[in-house]
Amino acid sequence: MRVSKDMISPDLRKGYYAGRLIAHLYHHQWFARFALNMARKFMAGKNTDGLVCEQRYIKIPGSASPLRIRIYKPEHVSGPLPAMLYLHGGGYMTNIPEMFAASFSAFIAAHPCIIVAPDYRKSVEAPFPAAFDDCYNTLLWMKENAAALGAVDEQFIVAGDSAGGGLTASVVLKATDTNDVKIAFQIPLYPMIDDRQNTSSCLDSNAPVWDAINNRLGWKLYLKGAASPTSPYAAPSRADDYSRLPPTITFVGSIEAFRDETVSYVERLREHNIPVAFREFEGAFHAFDYFFPKTEIAKQATSFLLQSYKEYVTRYFS
């Protein structure tokens, strides 16, 4: 879908050129690697005001290096809390957890929880299944260490945005396939879940922030050397059975590349009577809430997300 400036929500139009610049820079693998290196050099280990922050390294089967994870807790709150695995976005190829500290603070303020966020391997370092393995093994680590974390150990929340939304859907799919971990609910925001890239919203997209060229590169790097057909744990849209998936919260912009695959995901969940809190924001492009959080439409999306999160904790968390 070709996107013109007048298709964009009025309060996001001021971000049009910045969004196109972001998309253009990430047309190049070298820039994704550069951005990742800069983030790790200047932001890794940075704590967040108002939260108890901790950094650990955990062993991942099959990986030569330990995985860095960030742990975020509310101050002055005792007792076992719900625990959330948060998987950050970045096209599977860039970014680190610390870049999403505002989201962690918002979730914890809305309803106290413990957030564990892995700095999973990116596709510019290692293709699938590296990121998936890092994320899934972090979930297993959370279950095994729930008491030490101060977390409820019966069930967990998994959340993420963009590629992190894709990893959320993948991790939850395996957790329900294997019964390794009970998932209370999932939050795959505007998820990157369909490697076929053949939907109307994705084909020939020139939308700000993430377009068809970004998407081709993202999937090319992530699936490099992967077996055919693509595993549903790499691209959850390929899964045959969604019937055991948990209640879900998500939203998407109407003009972004992932619009159609997100809507299809939601429709398939609802076919199995799985509760879904979903909003489509008219005229919004990819990650509008992250890049332009002060706009009215971003505030509406964040309000929807946090209100739904509070309701789901109350309704589905034991």
Convert the pLDDT of each residue in 143-192 to its tens digit: 999 999 999 999 999 999 999 999 999 999 999 999 999 999 999 999 99
Residue 317 is predicted with a pLDDT of 85
Q: Averaged in consecutive runs of 10 residues, what is the pLDDT profile of the chain (318 residues)? A: 96 97 98 98 97 97 95 92 98 99 98 98 98 98 97 97 99 98 99 98 98 99 92 98 98 99 99 99 99 98 99 92
Domain architecture of the chain: domains with CATH: 5-316 (3.40.50.1820)
Strands across the sheet containing 114-118: 51-58, 67-74, 114-118, 83-87, 156-161, 183-189, 248-253, 276-281
CA distance 43 to 207: 28
pTM value is 0.98
Q: What is the pLDDT of residue 78?
A: 81
